[in-house]
Amino acid sequence: MSYDVLIVGIGGQGTILTSNILGEACVIEGVPVRGAETHGMAQRGGSVESQIRIGQEYGPLIPPGTADLIISFDLMEAARYCHYLKEGGQIFTSKEYVVPTSVFMQDFPAPDEYMLKGLFGDRNVTLIDARKLAEEAGSVLTQNIVLLGAASGYIPLKEQSLRDAVSKIVPKKTVELNLKAFDLGKAAGLAR
Partner 1 sequence: MVVKYLLGNEAIAHGCLEAALDTAFGYPGTPSSEVIDTLRAWPDRESYVEWSVNEKVAYEEALASSWCGLRSIVTMKHVGLNVAADPMMTSAYTGVKGGFVVLSADDPYAHSSQNEQDSRCYAAFARIPCLDPSSVQEAHDMVRDAFSLSEEFLLPVLFRPTTRICHSKSDVNLGEVAPLNREASFEKDPRQYVVIPAHTRILHKKLNEKQSSLKKRLVELGYNRCIIRGKTGVITGGIAASYVREVISDSVSIAQIGAYPIDEQWLSEFIRSHERILVVEELAPVIEEVARQVAGLVPILGKKTGHVPFEGELSPERVAQYLHAAEILVQADYPVVPTPAGLPVRPPILCAGCMHRTAMYAIRKVFRDGIFPSDIGCYTLGLQLGVVDTTICMGASITVASGMAQAGEKHDIVCTIGDSTFLHTGIQGLLNAVYNNANITVVILDNRITAMTGHQPNPTTGVTAGGVERPAVSLEMLCRSCGVSFVETVSPSDLVQFTGVLKEAKSRSGVKVIIAKQPCVITERRAKVNRGKFMVDPNGCIGCKACIKFGCPAIELHNGLAQITDLCSGCGVCAQICPVSAISLEVKE
Residues that bind partner 1 (CB under 8 A): 10-11, 19-20, 23-24, 26-27, 30-47, 52, 58-61, 63-66, 76-77, 79-80, 82-84, 86, 99-105, 108, 110-111, 115, 119
Q: Which of 138, 150, 168 is nearest to 72 (CA)?
A: 150
Rounded least distance, CB 26 to partner 1, Å:
6
When computed from its CA atoms, the radius of gyration of the chain, rounded to whole angstroms, is 16
Between 7 and 183, name the residue whose CB sits nearer to partner 1. Answer: 7
3-state secondary structure of 30: coil
Between 30 and 191, name the residue whose CB sits nearer to partner 1. Answer: 30
Between 58 and 191, name the residue whose CB sits nearer to partner 1. Answer: 58
Q: For residues 77, 82, 83 and 88, what is the CA-based torsion angle, rounded to 10 degrees?
A: 170
Give CA separation, 81 vs 15, 32, 51, 180, in Å: 14, 25, 11, 28
Compute the distance between CA of residue 101 and CA of residue 174 in angstroms, rounded to an integer.
31
Between 66 and 126, name the residue whose CB sits nearer to partner 1. Answer: 66
Rounded least distance, CB 111 to partner 1, Å:
6
Between 29 and 183, name the residue whose CB sits nearer to partner 1. Answer: 29
